[in-house]
């Protein structure tokens, strides 16, 4: 088995009654272990889906069914460590995001150790998404694969359809538990075991058949009067207090500013209820955030120690941010929207690509390991790098760009939606091309404006009155 590659992402889940327009939303920053790792946005058609799958990292071989569905995917450009599809929406309008690396403890691994040669993040979207027709089916297929093949790492995985949002967390080598997110709730999940209170007999939970017995037989529950999976199977480490918990705290602070919580607290809740309905722009802001208006902001004015204390959500290791939206107020043909942006999230915008297509725009599809400003991945990374050199100098450029770009994307989307609803011919692939062109043009202009303005403020200058 090759050395496993670990990422460190942040997930946000939103139920249909908690979102602004009645959509279900699952979203995640796909963060890596290094700052740059080019990605592509592609569609996997049934003929391109493998029937005999072999993982690169673990070598596990999985025979796959003969009836895969089409799905969007965000694979690595360089396949040295496998495909790593990250997330997508299939032709049944079911979405999956995999994975959020989570935590565990030695009590669990002493009972059910990881499986060298099992499945992992490299594999999961490929093995599950093309074959599921509901979010619950996704949980059940994922669970059965974990039980059969085992896993070599701990992961959290999101599923959604137009009605339900589910969150599954792996436990040890073969076990798992999942919980349906209430329709009126949201979740912010960092790199820790996130599920807390759990009722094995509830309609909104699923788990390995022997999980409850394992807890009892091995005396794993530290609580007197409840079952809290984070307490039982997760960690409560010092690292959690600076790397994980503050991210949940900031997201919850944004959606519920009226609630006072400790950013380092180990018991920040899993299921939360916002004080308003949540928009796509809200989700993107949190997934781009760096503790704005607090002393912990790396771009802020706190002490150097405070600015370095907590790991931010938006970080140089953001490879992509995806927001998978399944809408309920439009025809099924346009219900799935795969919002996407590449690079560090401080200087990019998510673009609402229609998922019901057979191909994707070249500028989003063709990134390679070679730096190329004609590609959206490298253009986005370059803009974020320049912005990082003087955030205060470039922040207003970013804010204007984001407002104007998102307005333009929504205009294209609204016009396309209206044509479909009216029964007119509307080419979704062309709409995606228009969106990609708009995004690339505006990102290029942002970078150009920053270069032009920033050149006047370089340290390497000397002015005479001439």
Q: How far is CA 297 from the centre of its chain?
A: 22
9 is known as an active-site residue:
yes
HSE value, Cβ hemisphere, 13 Å, CA-based, for 230: 22
Distances 104 to 154, 215, 219, 399 between C-alpha atoms, Å: 7, 14, 16, 39
Q: Which of 9, 95, 229, 315 is catalytic?
A: 9
Q: How far is CA 130 from the centre of its chain?
A: 19
Q: Which residues are catalytic?
A: 9
């Amino acid at each position: 088995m090759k050395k496993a590659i670990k990422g460190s992402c942040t997930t946000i889940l939103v139920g249909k009654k908690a979102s602004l327009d009645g959509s279900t939303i699952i979203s995640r920053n796909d963060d890596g272990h290094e700052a740059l790792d080019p990605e592509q946005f592609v569609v996997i058609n049934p003929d391109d889906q493998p029937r005999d799958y072999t993982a690169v990292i673990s070598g596990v071989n999985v025979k796959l069914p003969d009836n895969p569905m089409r799905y969007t995917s965000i694979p690595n450009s360089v396949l040295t460590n496998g495909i790593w599809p990250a997330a997508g929406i299939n032709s049944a309008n079911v979405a999956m995001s995999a994975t959020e690396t989570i935590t565990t403890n030695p009590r669990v691994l002493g009972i059910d150790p990881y499986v060298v040669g099992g499945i992992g993040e490299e594999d999961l979207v490929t093995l599950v998404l093309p074959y599921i027709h509901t979010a619950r089916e996704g949980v059940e297929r994922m669970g059965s694969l974990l039980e059969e093949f085992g896993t070599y790492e701990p992961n959290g995985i999101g599923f959604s359809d137009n009605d339900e949002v589910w969150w599954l967390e792996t436990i040890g080598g073969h076990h798992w538990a999942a919980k349906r997110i209430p329709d009126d709730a949201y979740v912010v999940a960092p790199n820790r075991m996130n599920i807390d209170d759990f009722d094995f007999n509830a309609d909104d939970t699923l788990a390995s058949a022997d999980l409850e017995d394992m807890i009892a037989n091995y005396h794993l529950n530290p609580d007197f009067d409840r079952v809290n999976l984070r307490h039982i199977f997760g960690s409560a480490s010092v690292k959690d207090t600076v790397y994980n918990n503050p991210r949940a705290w900031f997201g919850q602070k944004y959606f519920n500013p009226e609630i006072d919580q400790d950013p380092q607290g180990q018991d920040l809740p899993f299921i939360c209820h916002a004080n308003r309905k949540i928009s796509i722009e809200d989700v993107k802001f949190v997934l781009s955030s760096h503790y704005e208006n607090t002393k912990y902001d790396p771009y802020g004015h706190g002490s150097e120690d405070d600015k370095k204390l907590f790991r931010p959500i938006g970080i140089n290791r953001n490879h992509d941010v995806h927001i998978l939206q399944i809408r309920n107020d439009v025809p099924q043909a346009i219900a799935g929207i795969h919002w996407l942006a590449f690079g560090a999230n401080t200087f990019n915008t998510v673009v609402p690509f229609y998922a019901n297509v057979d191909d994707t725009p070249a500028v989003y599809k063709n990134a390679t390991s070679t730096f190329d400003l004609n590609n959206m991945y490298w253009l986005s990374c370059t803009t974020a790098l320049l912005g990082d050199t003087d955030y205060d100098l470039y922040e207003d450029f970013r804010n204007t760009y984001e407002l104007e770009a998102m307005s333009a994307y929504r205009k294209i989307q609204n016009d396309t939606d209206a044509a479909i609803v009216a029964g007119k011919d509307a080419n979704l692939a062309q709409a995606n091309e228009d969106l990609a062109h708009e995004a690339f043009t505006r990102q290029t202009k942002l970078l150009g404006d920053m270069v032009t303005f920033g050149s006047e403020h370089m340290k390497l200058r000397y002015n005479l009155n001439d």
